[in-house]
């Protein structure tokens, strides 16, 4: 059964991902992210964050809502992680969301990036890991050519010494192997201080986004609680 991804909730029709293993249906709008080389040391894209702080504090600010999630409601903040919910009852979707602490290279201007872990009650999905990269990356070798060996510049999610391949569509990415999602979320909730997303832009620029994991375990717990209602 093909999983339907709900990284962000929109009324637009779902887009079918590029023909590559695994096949994906995307319930998201395509960010019109255009990578532009920064000129003469121009500042990187501004990092947008929820202003409210504190353990479990409810956010009253909606301006930082990621693209396409205008209908989602912010309910709590834990460290760098925000908890959003959308819908009620069986259709309820809950998210733990963060933005990168650091982005390299700093001289490359990109749209804002977000890392999501989604709980979708109706589909019994508890650990869907997804990334909005903020630019269109080169796909993994195996995505471009099924069966090809992994290449050093393939998009990946990295936790300590563990590396997980990503499949990409436009400026969005998911784990190549959905069966690894539970392990990734468990590692994110453990002792790892950060998660690193690596990708190569269409112009051949290697990029790296570092996400702090402090507060993630609490944010994920709250997201699951919200989707148990």
37: Cβ contacts below 8 Å, ≥ 6 apart: 107, 108, 109, 203
Percent of the chain surpassing pLDDT 90: 55
pLDDT tens digits for 152-169?
Answer: 889 999 999 999 999 999
Structural domain spans, the chain: 4-226
pLDDT band at 215 (very low <50, low <70, confident <90, very high): very high
pLDDT band at 127 (very low <50, low <70, confident <90, very high): very high
Sign of CA dihedral 11, 6, 28, 133: positive
Pick the CATH number of 4-226 from 3.40.50.300, 3.30.420.10, 3.40.50.1700, 2.60.40.1880: 2.60.40.1880
**Would you state the pLDDT for residue 129?**
97
Nearest CA to 116 out of 125, 105, 128, 126 is that of 128
CA distances from 123 to 1, 92, 126, 166 (A): 12, 10, 9, 22
* Mean pLDDT, the chain, whole residue set: 76
């Amino acid at each position: 059964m093909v999983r339907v991804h709900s990284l962000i909730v929109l009324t637009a029709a779902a887009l079918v991902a590029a023909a590559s293993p695994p096949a994906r249906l995307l319930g998201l709008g395509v960010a019109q992210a255009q990578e532009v080389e920064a000129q003469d040391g121009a500042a990187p894209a501004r990092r947008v964050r929820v202003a409210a702080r504190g353990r479990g504090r409810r956010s009253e600010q909606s301006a930082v809502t990621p693209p396409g999630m205008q209908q989602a409601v912010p309910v709590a903040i834990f460290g760098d992680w925000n908890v959003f919910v959308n819908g009620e009852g069986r259709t309820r979707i809950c998210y733990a969301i963060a933005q990168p602490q650091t982005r390299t290279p700093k001289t490359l201007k990109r749209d804002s990036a977000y890392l999501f872990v989604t709980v979708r009650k109706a589909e019994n999905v508890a650990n869907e890991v997804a990334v909005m990269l903020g630019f269109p990356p080169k796909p993994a070798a195996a995505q471009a050519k099924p069966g090809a060996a992994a290449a050093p510049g393939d998009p990946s999610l990295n936790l300590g010494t563990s590396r997980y391949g990503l499949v990409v569509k436009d400026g969005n990415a998911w784990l190549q192997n959905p069966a690894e999602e539970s392990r990734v979320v468990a590692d994110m909730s453990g002792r790892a201080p950060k998660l690193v997303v690596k990708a190569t832009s269409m112009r051949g620029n290697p990029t790296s986004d570092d996400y702090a994991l402090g507060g993630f375990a609490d944010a994920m717990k709250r997201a699951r609680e919200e989707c148990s209602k």
